[in-house]
Amino acid sequence: MKTIPGLSLVNEDLALVESKMREAPHENIEPLATALDVILSSGGKRLRPALALLTSHFYHPPGDKVISLAAAVEMLHTATLVHDDLIDNALLRRGNPTLNAVWSPGATILTGDFLFAWAANLAAQTENVRVMNIFAQTLMVICSGELRQLFRRSWREQTREDYDRRIYAKTASLFAAATESAAVLVGALKPEVQALRDYGQQLGMAFQIVDDVLDFVGSPKEMGKPVGSDMRQGIVTLPTLHYLEQHPDDELLAQIFEGRQADNPIIEAAVTRIRQAGAVETAMDEARAYVKRAQAALTSFPANGIRQVMLDLADFVVQRRT
């Protein structure tokens, strides 16, 4: 687990979240127990549960139900990754072999389903109808976003609206669900719930834009995947959108997105071209604007240490290199 500055505040809570996730009842199915261990040990930044925990701290330290919620959110995220990696035929995630790299498609699908089920159980442990509703609705948003992406229009017809909707579905919806649900659980008032949801959502939009930018500028070693992965998969992200606005007739990109070329040197040339055109910086400006909106959502909250961590966390999202 990588450390994010300022998050030491919730380190102990995060350890409880890890334990909670590991309570998954594998029922002595040995390969499942092993897979769960591998999946959970190679976990990422745990940003989503951290958002739920920080939200709780505004009111009181996280109780059992917030811990369950935080675990549910991260487990839902993990479940979607298991299926995504299989669908994308991704063999590495965070430098480790994916489940589909070592298991049959069937075993991978069922393990993903099992993780969805475990996420639903963790959400149910909150014993809060509204939270369970948010949770179920977020799952719908994520799944329909992925289907929309799969059945997307041709690369030339992709609009900024398509992009915004996609990154909301893919990332911001779950960030928003994490903060909103935690706010509901601790009994926050309606405008506070809305403000905290807003913080999560804007932060999630920024996070995903940066993720997409890192596919152009990140270090392949640190990222655990080569540059231009999205382009290789035919996915138009924000830097590409900005570049295409300026260079609608670029022949190199046409070759790539129409599936005529996908060799590494071609992809790298396109990545360089987009970077040199300043499209990455324009995208980062937008990410920073989302961060400002996330921070603005917290204006009415007390200017205490918790708020400072949440403001810093937003800054970190656009400064990160992985």
Q: Where do contacts with a copy of itself occur on this chain (CB under 8 A)?
A: 25-27, 29-32, 80, 83, 86-87, 105-107, 109-114, 116-118, 120-121, 123-124, 127-129, 132-133, 135-137, 139-140, 142-144, 146-148, 150-151
As measured in angstroms, the least distance from the Cβ of 156 to a copy of itself is: 19
What is the secondary structure of 304-321 as a DSSP string?
Answer: SHHHHHHHHHHHHHHH--
As measured in angstroms, the least distance from the Cβ of 177 to a copy of itself is: 13
CA distance 135 to 309: 25
Cβ proximity to a copy of itself, 121 vs 282, nearer residue: 121
Cβ proximity to a copy of itself, 151 vs 190, nearer residue: 151
**Are the C-beta atoms of residues 135 and 76 closer than 8 Å to each other?**
yes
Residue closest to 105 by CA, chosen among 117, 87, 78: 87
The dihedral built from the CA positions of residue 247, 248, 250 and 254, taken in this order, carries a sign that is: positive
Cβ proximity to a copy of itself, 150 vs 189, nearer residue: 150
Cα Rg of the chain, angstroms: 20
What is the 3 state secondary structure string of 54-72? HHHHCCCCCCHHHHHHHHH
∠115-117-118 over CA atoms, to 5°? 65
Cβ proximity to a copy of itself, 83 vs 288, nearer residue: 83
Cβ proximity to a copy of itself, 63 vs 105, nearer residue: 105
As measured in angstroms, the least distance from the Cβ of 155 to a copy of itself is: 18
CA distance 81 to 101: 13
Cβ proximity to a copy of itself, 80 vs 295, nearer residue: 80
**Are the C-beta atoms of residues 47 and 76 closer than 8 Å to each other?**
no
DSSP letter (8 states) at residue 302:
-
DSSP letter (8 states) at residue 168:
I
As measured in angstroms, the least distance from the Cβ of 233 to a copy of itself is: 11
As measured in angstroms, the least distance from the Cβ of 117 to a copy of itself is: 4
As measured in angstroms, the least distance from the Cβ of 113 to a copy of itself is: 5
As measured in angstroms, the least distance from the Cβ of 118 to a copy of itself is: 7
Q: What percentage of the chain's residues is helix, strand, coil (to nearest 5)?
A: 75, 0, 25
Cβ proximity to a copy of itself, 116 vs 199, nearer residue: 116
